[in-house]
Every structure is written in C-alpha cells, then in structure tokens.
Amino acid sequence: MPTQRFLITGGSQGIGAAIVTHARKAGHQVVFTGRKEAQIKRVAADTGAHGITADVAVDADNARTVDACVKHMGGVDVLINNAGVGYSADMGALDVNAMRALFATNVFGGVDLTNRIVPLMKAQGHGDIVNLASTSGMKGAKGGTAYAGSKWAVRGITQCWQAELRPHGIRVICICPSEVQTNWMGKTGRNNPNKLYADDIAATILAGLDMPRRVLWPELAVFANNPWKED
C-alpha cells in the first residue's frame, strides 16, 4: 500500500492506539484524536503521529480535527471511526440520558466526522472508511440495549455508506471485534493470553486496506480462535 494519510479517532489507547502504531510502522502519515491529554502525548511521542485533543461527540471538535488533517497532511485517505464508549444496564433501570450520550459518541460522532471527510474523498476520487462495530452488534445480550444497539446502528450505517460511496471510489469497511484485551469500561483483570489483542485488530484492518482497490471487505467479524484454552 502506498503512503496514505490516516485519521484515527479514539487513538490514544486500546485498539485505536494499536492502529496508530501499525499505521506509522507501515510508513503512513497519521493524525489521531483522543480525550485524555497525557495519553495523547504518550502515543504521539512513541509513534511520531500528530495527536489532537478532541471529542467526536462535539461538532466543533470534529471541524477542528478536519482542519488539522488538511493543515498537517493535506487531506485524508483513510478514516478510522474507532472512538467508542460503553454502558450496560437492564431494562427498567436504564438511564436514557446515558444512552443518548453513548450514541453521541458511538454513532452521531462518527457520522458527523465522516460527513465532513467524505467531500474531501469524493474530490480526490478515492478513500477508505473503516467503522469499528462489534460482535455485540450481531447478537442481543442482557443489558446491551445501549451499547449493542449503537453497534447495530454502526453496521447499518456502514451498509448505507457502502451503497452510496462505492461509485466514488470510496471503500467502507465494518470491523466487528469479539472481546479484546483492553481496559474496557474501566475493568481490569480481563487478560487472557488466548483472547484477542488490540494489535490483532489493527493488523486485520491494515490487511484489509492493503487489498487491491477493486476488493471490498463489506464486514468482517474477528474472533479469537480458542479463548477458552487454559494455559
């Protein structure tokens, strides 16, 4: 894959930071966003990527992010909509405002940012958009109304963008990871060497982007082969 200009949201930790690292190791230019300045500075120092403190749920931050991409890279070839938050609650005890806040990040933030990036991609006649959904968006689960619902939405939105943007040379890919070893929702003690790592998801995404441009992966679920194995 020739040198590309990447914009990665939620790039200061977890899967996002792994994508930043893999993209930089492959020689690509990278701008990434995050909400925690200390983590942003650490990833930027480790990778040489350009970090921005920005929240995808804030329209003005998205406008500033796009401006920074144009300033630092001259545009965007690859947009990775990775930023996401979690919230679990049973029906009868669900905080609807918490669900609205989750959708603001997991759904509307990515839509707003992509809405600003697509005109740039159309003008150059090519581009790649990768949306991070989840296997939680492929099946229902107790307590999953908010989070799983947002990931179902990401999958449906991805399909709409595919139908709309393929004629413009823009590929839209949906990646659905199973459980990944990250500090998700503040939980620790989830490590199991046989479960997926953030690096596994980053490597999968880079592999998909490296396919010939005539090839589109519409959607890919990524599972650990044997997460139940006892070492």
Question: What amino acid positions are annotated as catalytic residues?
Answer: 147
What residue type is 116 in one-letter code?
R
Alpha helices in 74-190 (DSSP H): 96-103, 110-124, 145-165
Which structure tokens are listed for 62?
A: 């998205």
94-118: b or e for each residue (b if 16 or more CB lie within 10 Å)? eeeeebeebbbbbbbbbbbbbebbb
Exposed, middle or buried by CB within 10 Å (0-12, 13-18, 19+), for 170? buried
C-alpha radius of gyration, the chain, whole number? 17
Give the other-Cβ count within 10 Å of 178's Cβ: 16
List, in sequence order, every residue forming a beta bridge with 53; answer none if it has no partner. 34
| Residues 18, 37 contacting (CB under 8 angstroms) | no
Our measurement of the distance from residue 209's CA atom to the centroid of its chain's CA atoms, rounded to an integer in Å, reads 14
Q: Which residue has 């004629």 as its token pair? A: 167
- The amino acid occupying position 191 is N
